[in-house]
Amino acid sequence: NQTYERLEILVVDDGSEDHSVEQVRSINDFRIRIITQSNQGQSAARNRGIELASGRFIAFLDADDTWDSDHVESLMSLAEKCPAAGLFASAYRTKNRSGQYTELVVCTHGEDRSGVVLPDYFKLAARAPIVWVGAVMIPKRVFDQIGGFLVGEHRGGDREMWARIACTYDVAYLSSTSVTYDCVA
């Protein structure tokens, strides 16, 4: 349901045992491509999707994340505004067991709603996880340069990737919330 429709949707089935692949196959949308591999873990699945993607940008949507309808369009606008950045992210919200939402937003000076380059990613990230995997978009060229996610890393592989990117590139950020992470999904 994205307002930005020029999408390639790669679904990486990393040895799932539920019926999710059948559900995806039932969707009649030419943009969807299913990639099947034996269970190798989250990082290997992400790397496989990155490898096979044909677009200029990569965004991730895990099973426990939901994008608002303008999420991709907002990040594409941010990429136009900050073309040298290596990571584009929006604020996000979490949903807890009782159905309550908490927004996680980095306060940026001047509150430019069209996005800013974060002044010091590492200082901000030391306080809280400011970038969520479902809220990012990364130019494919960045992965070509710095490599993929660490295979075998079960927790924190995404934060390690953001840090590697931030060592080389600017991190561009939107303080508007466009992603929900369901903590109990």
Residue 45 predicted with pLDDT over 90: yes
Residue 109: its pLDDT value, please?
A: 58
CA distance linking residue 117 with residue 25, whole number of Å: 39
Pick from 11-25, 48-62, 163-177: least confident:
11-25
Pick from 29-33, 59-63, 129-133, 181-185: least confident:
181-185
Residue partners of 110: CB distance under 8 A and separation at least 6: 116
Determine what percent of the chain is predicted with pLDDT higher than 90: 73
How does residue 132 score in pLDDT terms, banded at 50, 70 and 90?
Answer: very high
- Average pLDDT over the chain reads 91
> What is 77-104 written as a DSSP string?
HHHHHSTT-SEEEEEEEEE-TTS-EEEE
Phi/psi of residue 29, each to 5°?
-150, 115
How does residue 185 score in pLDDT terms, banded at 50, 70 and 90?
Answer: low
CA distance linking residue 108 with residue 85, whole number of Å: 17
H, E, C per residue of 36-64: EECCCCHHHHHHHHHHHCCCCEEECCCCC
Per-residue pLDDT tens digits for 146-157? 999 999 877 778
How does residue 24 score in pLDDT terms, banded at 50, 70 and 90?
Answer: very high
What is this structure's pTM? 0.91
Q: Residue-wise over 6-44: b if at least 16 C-beta within 10 A, else e?
A: eeeebbbebeeeeeeeeeeeeeeeeeeeeeeeeeebbbb
* 184: three-class secondary structure by DSSP: coil
Q: Which amino acid is at 30?
A: F
